[in-house]
Amino acid sequence: MAITRGLIVGAVMAIGGMTGIPASAAAQQPQFTSLRAEFLPGERTIFYDDFTDMSAGAAPSHFRTRGASPELGAAGALRQLTYTSSGSLFPNLTALPRNFTYEAEVKLDVPQGVARIYLVLYSNEREAAAWYFFVRTASAEMMLTRKLPRPEELGRTQVTMDLSQPVKLALWIQDGRVRAFVNGEKRLDVNQVELPPIDRVEMRTDLAGAGLSVGYRSVRFAESAPDFSQVISASGRYVSHGIRFATDSDQLTPESAPAVRIVASGLGANPDLRLLIEGHTDAVGEAAHNLDLSRRRAEAVKTVLTTQFNVDASRLTTIGLGSTKPIEPNDTPQGRAQNRRVEFVRQ
């Protein structure tokens, strides 16, 4: 079944897999020293789904659904789980850590009326906090609220969106600070927000009007990234899922900037530190291709560190390991997402 609501194959952000997009030269990487990309994805994936293991007509196996049933659409390797009536998705999560990130790529069609999308966090069956979007044709009102331990509106703002393209939403909760991002731009930032332990999550869709739809392309929850210098000093290895690439390419995506800057800062603070940069892929595609791709990706990270952050090239070596060192099985979207990574090893 094809996706009929504005799907552009390849528009989705990806960090691995095969769609036939040609690899780019490392010299054409984005300028990470000047980009204002502040969102830092969590490193330990708690939940991930891009619906690639879901078949047409089946229920999403990694979610509990209530209300209207969403429909799966496909175009090439891309999947989209679309609501055309109101309903909710509950990720199969039993708990979230105190510090975590949420990312979702969503395609919205709102020719009239309003589409309301919510991320609701629960504690002991009570709403603890919520992130609201009230989306109209070209704009949205965004609001953060806390319900527990006491009700409080944390902030609201107006957001202009190009609904012809997917929207990237991200929430970062870290040590009582809550930051909300739309397409990489920080839109709300509040602090001293203490929440009770979160044990359930709801992604709610409420559609009011004809011809509206909300389509999810990927969903990720992860524990917030640890400090690079502490981890590399203590264990000798730092695993990064925040350094991401265009699909089947060594072209780093702009949202990789914060993760790259963390590594560059650690190298700057410790002049004696030398690193082996390992590139890793999932097991989708031919092994030889993935091995070459992982090598080029590791080289691309080295190139950015040396050319944009003035790290001495003699301090960095690279290797591509393809799919030979998985950290989770490759038979689920979450496992494949975990295996697509860059690792830094102290030498």
In a domain, 90, yes or no: yes
User: What pLDDT does residue 249 have?
Assistant: 92
**Once rounded to an integer, what is the mean pLDDT over residues 30-50?**
81
Is 70 exceeded by the pLDDT of residue 13?
A: no
What does pLDDT average to over the chain?
A: 88
In a domain, 58, yes or no: yes
Final residue before a domain boundary, out of 223, 244, 276: 223
One domain, residues 207 and 80: yes
One domain, residues 248 and 159: no
Tell me how far apart the alpha carbons of residues 201 and 219 are, in angstroms, rounded to a whole number.
12
β-strand 139-146 against 126-135: which pairing, if any? antiparallel
Count of other CB atoms within 10 angstroms of residue 130 = 18
The predicted-structure confidence for 179-230, as pLDDT tens digits, reads as follows 999 998 999 999 999 999 999 999 999 999 999 999 999 999 999 888 899 8
Is 50 exceeded by the pLDDT of residue 310?
A: yes
Is 80 exceeded by the pLDDT of residue 35?
A: no
Number of domains into which the chain is organized? 2
CB 265 within 8 A of CB 228: yes
In a domain, 257, yes or no: yes
12 pLDDT band, cuts 50/70/90, is very low
Is 50 exceeded by the pLDDT of residue 110?
A: yes
Is 50 exceeded by the pLDDT of residue 9?
A: no
